[in-house]
A and B are shown apart, each in its own frame.
Chain A
Amino acid sequence: MNNPTTPIKALNERRLDAVRRRLDGASLAEVSHAVGLSVPTVVAAVKAYESDGWDGVAVKPRGRPAASSAVSKQQLAELRSELIQHVAVTNAVIESEHLWTTARVHEWLIEKGVKLSAATAGRHARAWGLAPASPAPNEKPAAGTERQRFITIAKREKRRLVWISSHTLTSGEASNILLCAHTARGLCLWTLLSEIDETRFLAFLTAVEAYVKTPLAPMVQLSRAIEKSWVTQWENRTNHTVLLLPAVVNTTTSNSTLTSTASSTMTANTTSTQASGSPLPALSTLTHLQRLEAESIHIMREVVAEAENPVMLYSIGKDSAVMLHLAVKAFYPAPPPFPLLHVDTTWKFQEMYKFRDQIAKELGFELLVHQNEEGIKQGVSPFTHGSELHTDILKTQGLKQALDKYEFDVAFGGARRDEEKSRAKERVFSFRTSAHRWEPKSQRPELWNLYNAKKRKGESIRVFPLSNWTELDIWQYIHQQSIPIVPLYFSDERPIVERDGQMIMVDDDRMPLLEGETPEMKRVRFRTLGCYPLTGAVESNATTLTDIIQEMLLATTSERQGRLIDHDTSASMEKKKQEGYF
C-alpha cells in the first residue's frame, strides 16, 4: 500500500508502472496489487496521464515548494491579465504580429523573467483560455459527407485546411473575443480582439493565410460572434468555398455537436449504459423534420416488435441513407435488429458498391447481396434487353427471389409518397400477397398510428417509413444530420456520352459505344441513383450539400426525370408496383 514514507522517486516509478499496466488492459485490482498502490491512487495517476501525458503522472515533491522555483497563483493571475492587455487588438488592423501561438506565450513569459518549460507555458496558456481545443473532430470524416468532400477538394487544390472558431475571454471586467485558427497538424494561431466585425474577421483570415504561406480552406464554426455574411464575403473575395460547421451553444458541448455521423454511429454500436455529457435541453414544439423523424422511428419499432424476420432493402441512394440513419436512431443503444438487403443488378455505379460495403461495415449492419443469377447467366443487360425487361428480371424478380430465399416477412423500403402519383396512395404498411402482388383496390385502411402487421404465412408486408417525407425534407435532413451519401450526388469530372437526350456515364467497359460516340469529360452529378446505363446525369457545379439543395430548389423538372424506367409506359410505375417492384 501507499506508504507515506516512500521516496518520491520510487513512488513516481510505481505510478508510471501503474499507468502502463492499466493501459495494457489490466484491471484496477490487478494493477493495485502488482505495483502496491491503492486503487484511488492508480485512478488518479491514470487521470493525470490522460490530461497531461506522461509528464503529468509524476507527483511533485511534497511540502511547500521553494518560492523561486515556481510561480504562485497570485502571480499567475497577474501575468494573465498583463498578457491579455498586451495582446488585445483594439483597432481594426490585424497583421502577422497580432497572431499569437503558445510558443509566443512561452517567449513572452521568459521575457517577463518567468523560467518555465515550453510544456508548462502551454499548460498555463490552456488554463488561461488562450489555447482552446480545436473544433476539429478526432475521427476521419466518413465517405460521402460534406466534410470529406471539402477536404478532398482542398487537398486537390493544395489549400491549407484550417478550423476557425471564436471564444469569449473575460479578464476582470473586460470581455474580449478570441479568434482561433487551428491547423490539421495541431498549430493554433489566435488573436484577441476587443470587438469583432467583418473587417477584423477578414483581416484575421488574411493574416493566417500569410502566416501559413498557403491559400486557406477554412472550416468556420459559426457562433454569435461570427456572422455568415462575413464568410460569404471571404468566399467572394477568394473564389473558394468555405465549409460551415454548425454553431455550438457552449464550449462543453462543442465537441459532441461537431462529431460527424461516422463517430456517432460508432457510439451507437458501443452499447454504453452511461449517460454521456449533460442532457440536451427540452424542446418547446417539434419542427417538421423532428415530427417526420419521430414518425419514421415509430414505424420501424412497430415492425421490429411485430415481424418475425424483417429486412431493410438498401438501394445505396440518398433515401436509403436517411433510412439507415433513422434505423440506428430507432434502436439505439442496441444495433438495428435486422440485416440490409441489396438486390444487385450488377449494373450499379462502381462508387455505389464501394460506398455500400463501407457504410454497412461502419454502421454495423449485416449486408446481404442478392443477384438474380439466372438473369445474369442469360446475359440480361439494359443495353441488349431494354430498360423495362432489365428492371423486371434483375430487380423485380431478383427482389422476389431474395425475399423468398431468406423468408423475410417484412421489408423496409425507402419510397416516398411525393415521388410519383401512384405512390401517393400507397399505405405505410403495404400488404403483398404470397405472389408479392400489390392490390391497390384492397389496401388495408390505416388509422391513427395503429398499423396492422398481421399476415398469414407466405404473405409479406412492405413498409415505407419515409412515406411522408418530401425530396426537400430528405436533403434538409441529410444536411442537418451530416449523413454520408454516395459521392456521385456531388459534381465532378466524369466520362459522359449523350444518348437519347440523356447524359450517361461510361462507368465500365461493358457499355457498348455507338458509332460516333466518344466519352467526354463533363462536370456532372446525379440527382437519383440506379443502374448506370439507366441513370441520366445533369450538368452541375454543385460540390457541397448546400449547393445541391440550392440547385434542386431552383430546378424546374422533377426528380425522377433522370430515371429512364419511369418513361417506359404511361402509368408505368403503378404497373411495376402491382408486379412487385418496390
Chain B
Amino acid sequence: MASTTETKQKKMLILKSADNDEFEIEESVGVQSETIKNLVEDGFTFVPLPNVYTKALIKIIDYLKKHANKTDSNDEEIKTFDKDFVNTTFDDLFELVSAANYLHISCLMNMLCQTIADRIKDKSPEAVRKIFHINCDYTPEEEAKIRKANAQAFEGQFDESLD
C-alpha cells in the first residue's frame, strides 16, 4: 500500500492520522518533526500517527508547510500566520500541543505552551478549572488553606471569561 512516490527531487511522505486519513507531504516539510525525521532516517515513507487526529494534523501540516520555506522576506507573513494559528479554542490548543509533543516539533511546542500560558494568566482558579476541564478535588478546608498560602496571588482582579 501507499505507493511511495519516490521521485528523485521531491521525496514524498504519507502521514496517516488516527482517523485513518492519509496526507501526502514533502519530506523536507515533514522532517521538521523529530518523530517523522527519525522514521525517515530509518527508511520509512509511510508514517502512521495513531495519536494525532485529522483535525489537528491538518493544522499542523499547514504550520509545517508555512515554516518549511521560511526566509527573511516572509518573516512578517509567518508571524501573522502564527498569530492566526494559535487564535483558537482551548480544546483545540490542547489537542495541538499534545500532537506537537508527540511529533516533537519544538518550535510549535514552545509557541503553543506560551500561548496557553498567556491565556490562562489573570484567570481565577474556577475559570482555570473550566478551561482545563478538571474537577476540584480539594476538600473545602484544603482549598481554603492553599488559597491562604497563595494569598498574594489573589490580590488583583480576575478575568473570568473562558477564552
Does B bind A? no
Interface residues of B (CB under 8 A from A): none
Interface residues of A (CB under 8 A from B): none
